[in-house]
Amino acid sequence: MPDALEPLISADDIQRRTDELADEIRREYGDEPILLVGVLKGSLYFLADLSRRLGPNVTIDFVQVSSYGTGKTSSGVVQIRKDLDINIEGLHVLIVEDIVDTGLTLRHLRELLGTRHPQSLRVVSLLVKPEAMQHESTVEYVGFSIPTKFVVGYGLDIGERYRNLPYVAILSPSEP
């Protein structure tokens, strides 16, 4: 049996919300340059759509961290797989996340990037699971709060599948 996908957030709703987030971010940063730090690979589509709405004064870099294996449960271990290419000292850094679940990944990333003396350090996440947030982690800009369910699409995967769905869906895997 194939996995069951239950649509949760439509492609249109994602685009509308991304417009609003970009407006909010630009209102607060003014014309200041912003370095977007995309967290690979899940933030891929959100970063692409958000960045194109933030005007010309934007640069982009990436980090890759892993806290999950290929399945659905957190290993509790956060590891940097790919670090930033550029020096962020004195820059306005905006971390772009796909989803904040336990908050462990984000806490770790904030700590790490904070030691490099950016001028400011904030986070925008398309999705947050508030019930699951076990670790103190601030998300300044939230796209959608969702229930504590496993979701895929618009960058989010399970075992590298479903990232390219244009919408976000709740995944109920088929029984083996």
Measured from each CB, the residue nearest to Mg ion is: 42
Alpha-carbon span 47 to 95, nearest angstrom = 10
Partner whose footprint covers residue 126, from ligand IMP, Mg ion, none (CB < 5 to 8 Å by kind): none
Shortest CA distance to 15 belongs to which of 149, 156, 154? 154
Maximum distance among all alpha carbons in the chain?
53
Distance, CA of 83 to CA of 134 (rounded, Å): 25
Verify whether residue 101 is a known catalytic residue: yes
Which of ligand IMP, Mg ion, none does residue 64 bind to, with CB < 5 to 8 Å depending on kind? none
Kindly state the tokens that stand for 68: 């999950």
Q: How far apart are CA 120 and CA 156, in angstroms?
A: 27
Distance of closest approach, residue 21 Cβ to ligand IMP, in angstroms:
17
* 38, 42, 118, 153: which one binds Mg ion (CB under 5 A): 42
Q: Please list the residues that pair with 172 across neighbouring strands.
A: 4
Q: Is 105 in the site for ligand IMP (CB under 6 A)?
A: yes
Q: Judged by CB under 6 A, which of 18, 29, 35, 42 binds ligand IMP? A: 42
Can residue 98 be called a binding residue for ligand IMP (CB under 6 A)? Answer: yes
Q: Residues in the site for ligand IMP, rule: CB under 6 A?
A: 42, 67-68, 74, 97-106, 150-152, 156
Residues with active-site annotation? 101
